[in-house]
Amino acid sequence: MSQLHRINASRLHQFVQAIWLYAGSTTEEAGLVADHLVAANLAGHDSHGVGMIPSYMASLAQGHLQLNQRPTLTKDAGAVLTLHANQGFGQVAAWEAMKLGIERAQKLGIAAVGLHHSHHIGRIGHWAEQCAAAGLVSFHFVNVMGDPMVAPFGGSDRRFGTNPFCAIFPRQNAKPLLLDFATSGIAYGKTRVAWNKGIEVAPGYLIDHQGHATTQPGVMHQQPFGSLLPFGLHKGYALATMCEILGGALSGGRTTHDATVQSNSDAIFNCMTTIILDPAAFDAPAMQEEAEAFIEWVKRSPKSGDEDIQVPGEWEEANREARDRLGIPLDATSWQQICQAAAQAGMPDEELNAFRLLAV
Ligand SMILES: NC(=O)c1ccc[n+]([C@@H]2O[C@H](COP(=O)([O-])OP(=O)(O)OC[C@H]3O[C@@H](n4cnc5c(N)ncnc54)[C@H](O)[C@@H]3O)[C@@H](O)[C@H]2O)c1
């Protein structure tokens, strides 16, 4: 297993921002990308953190990722907005899309935003947290355009992306309830993290190119490619299908099929349909008390093992607390790849060598 470094979050943020500045992003864009990637690591989702930088750099070199784009509002129907992201950084496009959706939901009580043709929008919980920070509830249906990795229930080869679903509920005196997961049993990035660390993944998540069960993450990274499996048998597959259609088709984007499927590309393009609700628009004065009563009730269930009963979102909060204090863990392979990406972006040796010292 490759060596693990611990890196201070704010120094890592400076490094990531510097990388994208050298690559050609504006200060604002580089800052939004760094905010998102470091926040994903802090939340414990290393699959969507700074380890994405080499893939983003490759996507830029291949002409897929477009720097310094702003999403274009192609239709404004009042409560429903549609935006074309122009292949720009998802960390910018989704941030702007949420900003517009939040303004509408605050005015109308409800808003929907379709965002399409966006470069990778990363950890979806980040966008839900943007809504919750404004006191709003949100739901997010996301597809990964033309980049199949997951086999349908009953199938044996890759047909659609890891299509995440996300929902958030802000609480009065606690961090929001946050459901945020891929509809595959594990996120693709988690196979990359396992592969870089030289470890297997748990059984039940992967099949090889012949449809046989395997625990080797390499089947997702070396030809002949295998597939991820949906979580929860037919139920996860059914939710993934709704993410594909609601996220990909309803948003004005594309779904995965013969005409859109792409291969040999490092680019990840997402489409997302977001519904944002103002809880104050409901006639539900006891909403918070009812939510808290339920949380307190479920947590009183006698424990079946050593693990505490958590509600969705607590796992991320616990990671934030620990990683703020102890630093962000990064395996040596990922760190090496990020440093190579920094050199590719044009960071001078002297500056890069100073940043290399962050990994001790
Ligand atoms: N942009 C994309 O194309 C894309 C695609 C797939 C996944 N993703 C992102 O990848 C990230 C990782 O996804 P994942 O599927 O690996 O997530 P995961 O399997 O780690 O599940 C995370 C969810 O489970 C909750 N959770 C964890 N432990 C819990 C417990 N004991 N009790 C109750 N709830 C608990 C968390 O709070 C969170 O809501 C997500 O942030 C997702 O948005 C993005």
CATH, residue 78: 3.30.1370.60
Q: What's the rounded Cα separation, in Å, for the pair 142 and 166?
A: 9
203 located within any domain: no
Is the per-residue pLDDT at 1 higher than 60? no
- Find out whether 87 and 119 touch, Cβ atoms under 8 Å: yes
Ligand 1: atom nearest CA of 90 is 1
Q: Are residues 261 and 112 in the same domain?
A: yes
**Pocket of ligand 1 contains residue 240 by CB under 6 Å:** no
Mean of all residue pLDDT scores within the chain: 96
Residue nearest atom 14 of ligand 1, based on CA coordinates: 181
Q: What's the rounded Cα separation, in Å, for the pair 81 and 112?
A: 6
Considering the chain, what percentage of its residues have pLDDT values greater than 70? Answer: 99
Is the per-residue pLDDT at 181 higher than 90? yes
What integer pLDDT is reported at residue 195 of this predicted model? 93
Structural domain boundaries, residue 21: 1-61+327-360
211 located within any domain: no
Give, rounded to a whole angstrom, the gap between the first and last alpha carbons of the chain. 17
Q: What is the distance, to the nearest Å, from the Cα of residue 108 to the centroid of all Cα atoms in its chain? A: 28
Ligand 1: atom nearest CA of 48 is 10
Q: Are residues 39 and 102 in the same domain?
A: no
Q: What's the rounded Cα separation, in Å, for the pair 78 and 108?
A: 9
212 located within any domain: no
Q: Are residues 2 and 147 in the same domain?
A: no
Q: Are residues 33 and 137 in the same domain?
A: no
Ligand 1: atom nearest CA of 183 is 15
Beta bridge partners of 328: 7
Is the per-residue pLDDT at 176 higher than 60? yes
**Pocket of ligand 1 contains residue 120 by CB under 6 Å:** yes
Ligand 1: atom nearest CA of 190 is 16
**The dihedral sign for the CA sequence 99, 101, 104, 109:** negative
**Pocket of ligand 1 contains residue 182 by CB under 6 Å:** yes
Q: What is the 204 CA–ligand 1 centroid distance (Å)?
A: 17
Q: Are residues 101 and 135 in the same domain?
A: yes
Is the per-residue pLDDT at 340 higher than 60? yes
53 located within any domain: yes
Q: What is the 11 CA–ligand 1 centroid distance (Å)?
A: 26
**Pocket of ligand 1 contains residue 313 by CB under 6 Å:** yes
48 located within any domain: yes
Report phi then psi at 339, rounded to 5: -65, -40
- Find out whether 134 and 102 touch, Cβ atoms under 8 Å: yes
- List pLDDT tens digits, range 71-98: 999 999 999 999 999 999 999 999 999 9
What integer pLDDT is reported at residue 268 of this predicted model? 94
- Find out whether 243 and 143 touch, Cβ atoms under 8 Å: yes
Residue nearest atom 32 of ligand 1, based on CA coordinates: 310
99 located within any domain: yes
Instruction: Of 168, 246, 158, 172, give the one whose Cα is nearest residue 208.
Output: 158
Q: Are residues 51 and 126 in the same domain?
A: no
Specify the CATH number for the domain of residue 57.
Answer: 1.10.1530.10
Q: Are residues 7 and 98 in the same domain?
A: no
The H or E element that residue 343 is part of is helix 332-345
- Find out whether 137 and 98 touch, Cβ atoms under 8 Å: no
Q: Are residues 33 and 123 in the same domain?
A: no
What integer pLDDT is reported at residue 264 of this predicted model? 66
200 located within any domain: no
- Find out whether 155 and 149 touch, Cβ atoms under 8 Å: no
Q: Total structural domains in the chain?
A: 2
210 located within any domain: no
**Pocket of ligand 1 contains residue 124 by CB under 6 Å:** yes
Q: What is the 39 CA–ligand 1 centroid distance (Å)?
A: 14
**Pocket of ligand 1 contains residue 181 by CB under 6 Å:** yes
Residue nearest atom 41 of ligand 1, based on CA coordinates: 123
Instruction: Of 350, 359, 344, 342, give the one whose Cα is nearest residue 16.
Output: 342
CA distances from 292 to 61, 131, 175, 236 (A): 49, 20, 12, 28
What integer pLDDT is reported at residue 2 of this predicted model? 63
Alpha carbon dihedral 277, 171, 302, 232, in 10-degree steps, equals 30
Q: Which of 38, 171, 180 to mutate to test the pocket of ligand 1 (most atoms within 8 A of CB)?
A: 180
Is the per-residue pLDDT at 172 higher than 90? yes
Residue nearest atom 26 of ligand 1, based on CA coordinates: 312
- List pLDDT tens digits, range 269-281: 999 999 999 999 9
Q: What is the 347 CA–ligand 1 centroid distance (Å)?
A: 33
Q: Are residues 14 and 57 in the same domain?
A: yes
Q: Which of 61-65, 259-263, 310-314 bottoms out in mean pLDDT, i.e. has the lowest?
A: 259-263
Instruction: Of 165, 181, 164, 176, give the one whose Cα is nearest residue 45.
Output: 181
Q: Are residues 165 and 17 in the same domain?
A: no
Instruction: Of 21, 94, 25, 30, give the one whose Cα is nearest residue 66.
Output: 25
Q: Are residues 244 and 110 in the same domain?
A: yes
- List pLDDT tens digits, range 315-334: 999 999 999 999 999 999 99
What single-letter amino acid sits at 16? V
Q: Are residues 82 and 134 in the same domain?
A: yes
Burial 22-36 (b: 16+ CB within 10 A, else e): bbebeeebbbbbbbb
Residue nearest atom 21 of ligand 1, based on CA coordinates: 181
What integer pLDDT is reported at residue 278 of this predicted model? 98
- List pLDDT tens digits, range 192-228: 889 988 999 999 999 999 999 999 999 999 999 999 9
**Pocket of ligand 1 contains residue 186 by CB under 6 Å:** yes
